[in-house]
Amino acid sequence: MDQKDLKAIIEQVLSEMNISGGAAASTVQAEPICCEHTTVEDGCIPDVTEVDIRTQYLVKNPAHGEEYAELKAHAPCRLGIGKAGARYKTDPQLQFRAAHSAAQDAVFNDVDHDFVENKMGLFIVQTQCDSKDVYLTRPDLGRKLSEEARKTILEKCKKSPRVQIYVADGLSSAAVAANIADLLPAILQGLQSYHIDAGTPFFVKYGRVGVMDEISELLDAEVTCTLIGERPGLITAESMSAYIAYRATVGMPEARRTVVSNIHRNGTIPAEAGAHIAEIIKIMLDKKASGTDLKL
């Protein structure tokens, strides 16, 4: 069928619909004009990770909405997010998926060695885990230093320090990247203001909390403090904690550790946490105790 035959069929159909050729021409010409006024997507969408869910309240026509929103402002929970029928609304669903992806990245990605060595000036040692898979499946190996790590620490670290601080990746590389540049200097500055001598800081790759006990015995530290990335959740993937112990020993009960947790930009900010940790260390040294034996 050629163009001429097709045109004849169209005219016949339009004639049967009582539409004139002129009207048809007008209709055909109107379509591109409409397209010219269509809004063109510029490729940018709002960053759902920047939404403060404490202020997000999406329930339509709520009962006691103001009171509920006020309560929600004090806790970053996914409540009051509304629904579209039986489903979540689009924004909360995207926020949930973004948070889940950030948590996975924090666990499976390694801390940037260039950041640790060149920006923070820390040397790197490793536990007996030789990969991320081993680290996640063998927690016991993450509590033991490799033989090479033991030699490096003995060569480069100050012996018998009053306070030994080190950084470990733990379960969140994102926490180290986000917090340590402010947290570690704040602790060291606080200790200096109390005239407390600190040892040589360093970084432990694939480290669990328990490796601090071996480090404490190896260096004969009075107080040992590890700054470690915590298991990420769906509120933040950047939370860091400080585990601190007086005269830590291998195999000691967990009750002997003192913990400062939720160190991140929407929790206890790193600089403030650093000052608080330095004060706790001073009290530990004065009272020669930590964990449940320490009364703060």
Dump pLDDT digits (tens) for 144-168: 999 999 999 999 999 999 999 999 9
Given a cut of 60, whether residue 27 has pLDDT beyond it is: no
Quick check: 225 and 165 in contact, CB under 8 A? yes
Given a cut of 60, whether residue 170 has pLDDT beyond it is: yes
Q: What is the pLDDT of residues 248-278, one digit of tens each?
A: 999 999 999 999 999 998 899 999 999 999 9
Cβ contacts of residue 228 below 8 Å, gap of 6+? 167, 168, 169, 170, 175, 207, 209, 240, 241, 242, 243
Encoded tokens for 85: 């029928």
Can you give the residue range of the structural domain that contains 57?
A: 48-107
Band (70; pLDDT cuts 50, 70, 90) = confident
Query: Cα 174–179–180 angle (5° rounding)?
Result: 105
pLDDT at residue 62, as a whole number: 86
Band (41; pLDDT cuts 50, 70, 90) = low
The answer as to whether 75 is a domain residue is yes
State mean pLDDT over 41-63.
77
* Whether residue 129 sits in one domain with residue 276: yes
* Whether residue 218 sits in one domain with residue 238: yes
Given a cut of 50, whether residue 21 has pLDDT beyond it is: no
The answer as to whether 24 is a domain residue is no
> Residue 183: is it exposed, middle or buried by C-beta count within 10 angstroms (0-12/13-18/19+)?
buried
The predicted model scores a pTM of 0.77
Which is higher by pLDDT, 116 or 79?
A: 116
* Whether residue 121 sits in one domain with residue 99: no
Encoded tokens for 284: 């530990």
State mean pLDDT over 13-33.
49
As for how many domains the chain has, the answer is 2
* Whether residue 155 sits in one domain with residue 186: yes
Helix orientation angle between 21-36 and 3-16, rounded to the nearest 10 degrees: 100
* Whether residue 232 sits in one domain with residue 184: yes
Amino acid at position 51, single letter: V
The answer as to whether 140 is a domain residue is yes
